[in-house]
Amino acid sequence: MPAAAGVVLSLADIAARLGGDVFGDPQTLICQVATLASAGEGEIGFLTNLKYKNQLKTTKAAAVIVSAEFADAVEIPRIVTKNPYAYYARLAALLNPRAAMTPGVHPSACSASKLPSDVTVGPNASIGLDVTLGQGVVIHASCVLGDGVKVGAGSVLYPNVSIYAGCEIGQNAIIHSGVVIGADGFGFAPDAGQWVKIPQIGRVIIGNDVEIGASTTVDRGALDDTLIGDGCKIDNQIQIGHNCVIGKHCVIAACAAIAGSVTLQDNVIVGGAAMIAGHVTIASGAVISGGSLVMKNITKPGQYTSVFPLEEHSHWLHNAAQIRHLVKLAERVSELEKTLNNINIKD
């Protein structure tokens, strides 16, 4: 299927823009990316997972993107590059540019701030006092920006995004539908059997080139700000609690829950549905497996997992029953070791 914007490029054109080495006819025309299995005329496939390498022999693609290891594994035209997956991503963006928006403020939108002439504001959007929008910002329908909000140049807010007062978003951010940035953190003080609300007076500060998926929530800080660093990619339906500090280029997959005052250092990867308890610090380069529960600091990079592998329910019940006795078993082993040591000393 041709790219929606009608972009057609030769392999030579693509390599000139994105790099890589072209093997075969450099004038082969490409209009879209596709999988090896589904690609057809005018489409370019890519190999990033070795379990699909046999599809190189059967693909109907006009060309493929491969690493040097597979440069000679196909006869059709190909682009050889060190990182086929990243190359595919950049090419997909090249062939599918974001639809151009016509600057202007929709008549049904309401703004208490003076807006630049080159921004786009959709129907029923609401923009408070002292809001600052950078060059080319796009605010889609029914978004709400509270007083004092700042949104950097080139950023896009899709429909129904809510940004509470005082929060800041950097340049070239993509904020998907239903995201809430700056709601109150979960802060309550116990007092005589009741809960006293703690005012949340911090903000949320988001860096440049950050993408946040649909229906994700980022709480404002109780005192200090909640911070999200440059280049972070945050999936759908994620909770980030108050006063969290998320370092640069972290990736957080869907349905993860991060409690308050957690620090993720740079380049941390958090798998889907993982849970991180409050006041935990996770070292740069750490990878948290999906579904894991993190209850303590992680001080060095590596992959960490805290979930049982999937197995039949009856086996799981048996293993879970044994785990309940691990403390007693450890105590018995310790006593046996002491006894053996005493025997060895006497001998």
Residues assigned a catalytic role: 242
For residue 51, the 8-state DSSP code is G
Label residues 159-168 b or e (16+ Cβ within 10 Å = b): bbbbbbbbbb
Alpha-carbon gap, residue 283 to 263, rounded angstroms: 9
For residue 209, the 8-state DSSP code is S
Q: Could you give the C-alpha distances from 90 to 39, 112, 224, 261, 288, in angstroms and in order?
A: 18, 38, 37, 35, 27
End-to-end CA distance of the chain: 83
CB-based contact 29:10 (threshold 8 Å): yes
Alpha-carbon gap, residue 305 to 99, rounded angstroms: 41
Which of 123, 124, 150, 126 lies closest to 137, judged by CA?
Answer: 150
What is the three-class DSSP state of 341?
helix
Label residues 82-103 b or e (16+ Cβ within 10 Å = b): eebeebbeebeebbeeeeeeee
For residue 319, the 8-state DSSP code is H
221 residue type, one letter: G
Which of 93, 308, 77, 341 lies closest to 211, judged by CA?
Answer: 93
DSSP 25-45: -TT-EE-EE--TTT--TTEEE
